């Protein structure tokens, strides 16, 4: 992963900025849950709690992946 240096205004909390960035990148499907947790400096479980607080699905599947999961469930 590359390093990015951002200069935030003093009134923006670094922790909150990290979490917000990680949530948005995860919501857009650009990074995995584990990667997002690392960006947010949280364990995966705590990051999942943040997703829930922000009404972002923990299961970040696209339509094809969801159809495959449903199809696989039908095979049981």
Would residue 27 count as lying in a domain?
A: yes
- What is the total count of domains within the chain? 1
Predicted local distance difference test score (pLDDT) of residue 58: 87
Residue 50 belongs to some domain of the structure:
yes
Question: Residue holding tokens 């499907």?
Answer: 29
Q: How does pLDDT run across 58-73, given as a tens digit for each residue? A: 887 777 877 777 887 8
Q: Which of 22-26, 38-42, 56-60, 69-73 has the lowest mean pLDDT?
A: 69-73
User: What is the distance between the alpha carbons of residues 10 and 13, in angstroms, rounded to a whole number?
Assistant: 7
CA distance 6 to 48: 25
Tokens of 69: 């999961």
Range of the domain at 38: 14-74
Does the pLDDT of residue 54 top 70, yes or no?
Answer: yes
Q: Does residue 25 fall inside a structural domain?
A: yes
Burial class of residue 51 (count of CB atoms within 10 Å of its CB; 0-12, 13-18, 19+): buried
Confidence class for position 51, pLDDT limits 50, 70, 90: very high
Residue 33 is encoded by which pair of tokens? Answer: 């849950």
Q: What pLDDT is stored for residue 23 in this prediction?
A: 97
d(CA 70, CA 55): 23
Domain-embedded: residue 7: no
Q: Is residue 51 part of a domain?
A: yes
């Amino acid at each position: 992963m590359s390093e990015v240096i951002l200069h935030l205004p003093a009134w923006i909390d670094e922790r909150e900025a990290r979490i917000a960035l990680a949530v948005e990148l995860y919501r857009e499907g650009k990074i995995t849950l584990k990667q997002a947790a690392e960006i947010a400096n949280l364990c995966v479980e705590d990051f999942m709690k943040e997703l829930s607080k922000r009404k972002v699905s923990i299961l970040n599947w696209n339509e094809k992946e969801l159809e495959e999961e449903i199809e696989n469930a039908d095979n049981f």
